[in-house]
């Protein structure tokens, strides 16, 4: 799509606009918290993370655990951010489908350290980095 929004989605959902990739990326940049979905022990898991958009990918810090294991396995993952207003019945959501990767290259880590991304959960410092390399970015808005 070339415009910022189009009409209803295919199949017709009046009042729901499809967002183009540029608008989706702008919304990804506008919020610090998203949810990553991946498979762990043959079960779908969805966890919140503080993240940043950096070099056309989602990046976040983590500890050794489920999210890092998914990245070590180069799992297909989904990442979602959204916002809504209950009173006005408006909102938006962005869904990124891609591959999780454990970032181990020291130069890339050094660059990410400059983003000043600080996890909200600070009881133990999250020293490892994961990125989600997008394969598909889609978004919807209820105006």
* pLDDT per position as a tens digit, 51-78: 999 999 999 999 889 999 999 999 999 9
Taking the model in full, what pTM does it have? 0.84
- Where in the sequence is the domain holding 51, given as residue range(s)? 17-142
How many domains does the chain contain in total?
1
- Is 7 within the bounds of a domain? no
- Is 2 within the bounds of a domain? no
CATH number at residue 38: 2.30.110.10
**Interval 73-128: pLDDT, tens:** 999 999 999 999 999 999 999 999 999 999 999 999 999 988 878 777 666 567 88
The C-alpha atoms of residue 47 and residue 27 are separated, in whole angstroms, by: 19
Contacts of 140 (CB under 8 A, 6+ apart): 9, 16, 17, 18, 19, 92, 93
- Is 6 within the bounds of a domain? no
Are 64 and 128 within 8 A, CB to CB?
yes
pLDDT on residue 117:
80
């Amino acid at each position: 799509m070339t415009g910022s929004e189009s009409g209803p989605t295919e199949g017709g959902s009046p009042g729901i606009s499809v967002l183009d990739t540029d608008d989706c990326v702008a919304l990804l940049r506008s919020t610090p918290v998203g949810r990553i979905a991946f498979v762990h022990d043959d079960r779908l898991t969805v966890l919140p993370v503080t993240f940043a958009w950096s070099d056309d990918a989602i990046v976040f810090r983590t500890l050794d655990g489920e999210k890092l294991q998914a990245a070590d396995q180069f799992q297909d993952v989904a990442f979602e951010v959204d916002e809504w207003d209950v009173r006005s019945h408006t909102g938006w959501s962005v869904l990124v489908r891609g591959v999780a990767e454990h970032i181990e290259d020291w130069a890339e880590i050094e660059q990410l350290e400059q983003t000043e991304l600080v996890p909200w959960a600070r009881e133990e410092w999250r020293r490892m980095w994961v990125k989600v390399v997008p394969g598909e970015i889609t978004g919807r808005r209820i105006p």
